[in-house]
A and B are shown apart, each in its own frame.
Chain A
Amino acid sequence: MGVRVIDLTRSFRKGKGWRPKGPEVTALDGLTLEIPDGEVHGLLGPNGAGKTTLCKILSTILLPSSGTAEVLGYDVVADAHEVRRRIGIVFGGEHGLYWKLSARQNLRYWAALYKLTDAEGDHRASELLARLGLTAKADDLVETFSRGMKQRLHLARGLIGDPKLILFDEPTIGMDPVAAHDFRRLIGELREEGRTILITTHDMDEAEEVCDRVTLIDKGRVIATESPRGLAQMSSLHRWVEAETTADVTHLPGVVAVESRAGFVRIKTDGDASARRVIDFLLDNGVRSVRAVPPTLEDVYLDLIGARGMEV
């Protein structure tokens, strides 16, 4: 088993100092999750859902308040050293690199932390720089890199120890579409190499494209774990109709929401009967094209977690 988390809880008190006196916050609340070896697993949830806390516990940076977490068969508390030898972590954003050093120097340093000799570290750094298309920039300072290049270097850093499990915390933040596409291709390669991958992301398209299964979490609890397609089928609350029309359907019974985009409308209905009623109405009113579509992962996410706007 790649990851086994049973009834995991992590709580802390808000405030500053050694003994904060603020209100207790529960980041993870009895979370249970299993990820088999070789799976690409997505972790989806709103800000403050507990995704990063789970990643930090799995990477031995944080201790759980209660419950157990195992990575590749090793307990993250009792066998932390064994866990660290087998994992790689990749954080999104621009932090986590030494900007005043070159890409190669960064990788050589991290190679030393993963107990590689200088020769092994040099070889591994060159190999990863080539794999991620950074060879030409290998000796340039990281501070001169674009965000996408920094993100690729993050990825190289995460792979330096040849990990069996890789934790990605919002890895495509700041990447342009081409870089994000390349990243998804790389995830496919890592999967083929038999590595287990856990990705936290807000990008539903990315989760749908690269993940074998996804887990929706909110307020530190698992809401659902399924394949992206299975999750869409689970969401039996709403049916969607897509049409190329200018007709107004908002007055029809059972229409929950209508989204218009470039001449197309996506109509959210409250069930099969309403969807059929909308299609019949559109066919009678000169629609150019119409079809019933399964909900996307984003639709399911909004259904199950709820649209909470800017609330965290």
Chain B
Amino acid sequence: MRAFLAGVRIQFWLIRRQPDDLLTLCTIPFTAVIMLSVVIHAIRPDLVTNALLAPALIGLWGFSIGLAGEVIESERWVGTLNPSLAAPTEMHSVYFGRIMAVMGLGVIPLGETWLLG
């Protein structure tokens, strides 16, 4: 559990230092407005749910692919992968923590679109 929490903590530290990673959060409401306007203009109230869900899923995928998918790659890039593998902690718990931290942020777009809806 300690390794998992260490992973969550370092991911939040890193995101705080690189706020551009959170850019997706700013684009979600605009995407939702565009989708809604298309649906409303087409007079298709049956698609409103889809129009709101789609941006949320785009946000989730954006986070999961853009950040979580890069965790290992960035570890290699900054040269921390080798020393991590030589540490006594099982690294899958740490990386699971890091990825879950990112995925947790991915839930924010759901809240944004729900508020918009």
Task: Identify the A interface with B (CB < 8 A).
Answer: 56, 59-61, 81, 84-85, 87, 89, 91, 93, 95-101, 105, 109-110, 112-115, 117, 141, 157, 161
Contacts and interface: CB of A to CB of B under 8 A. Distances in A.
B17 A115 contact: no
A84 B79 contact: no
Contacts of B88: 81, 84-85, 113-115, 161
Contacts of B50: none
A113 B82 contact: no
Interface string B70-106: 0000000011101111111100001000000000000
Contacts of A110: 83, 87
A84 B88 CA distance: 5
A87 B2 contact: no
Contact of B87 (A91, A97, A113, A117): A113
Given A99-B78, A112-B2, A115-B2, A84 B17 contact: no
Nearest to A141: B17
B89 A109 contact: no
Given A85-B88, A114-B89, A91 B14 contact: no
A98 B3 contact: no
A91 B79 contact: yes
A98 B79 CA distance: 9
Contacts of B87: 84, 110, 113-114, 161
Contacts of A95: 78-80
B3 to A, nearest CB: 7
Contacts of B80: 95-98
Interface string B1-24: 011011001100110011000000
A112 B94 CA distance: 10
Contact of B6 (A81, A84, A96, A113): A113
Nearest to B80: A96
Interface string B52-81: 000000000000000000000000001110
Given A95-B78, A115-B89, A101 B83 contact: no
Nearest to B84: A113
B3 A101 contact: no
B79 A96 contact: yes
Contacts of B10: 98, 101, 105, 109
Given A113-B88, A117-B2, 19 more contacts: A59-B82, A60-B85, A84-B88, A89-B86, A95-B79, A98-B10, A98-B80, A99-B78, A100-B13, A100-B17, A101-B14, A109-B6, A109-B13, A110-B83, A112-B6, A112-B89, A113-B3, A113-B87, A141-B17
Contacts of A84: 86-88
A60 B88 CA distance: 10
A105 B82 contact: no
Contacts of B89: 112-115
A245 B85 CA distance: 56
A99 B10 CA distance: 12
A157 B82 CA distance: 13
A59 B85 CA distance: 9
Nearest to A102: B13
Q: Nearest 8 pairs between A and B by C-beta?
A: A95-B79, A112-B6, A113-B87, A100-B17, A59-B86, A96-B79, A84-B88, A85-B88
B83 A157 contact: yes
B79 A100 contact: no
B14 A87 contact: no
Contacts of A101: 10, 13-14, 17
23 contacts: A60-B86, A84-B88, A87-B86, A89-B82, A89-B83, A89-B86, A91-B79, A91-B83, A93-B79, A95-B78, A96-B80, A98-B80, A100-B18, A101-B13, A101-B17, A112-B6, A113-B87, A113-B88, A114-B87, A115-B88, A115-B89, A141-B17, A161-B88
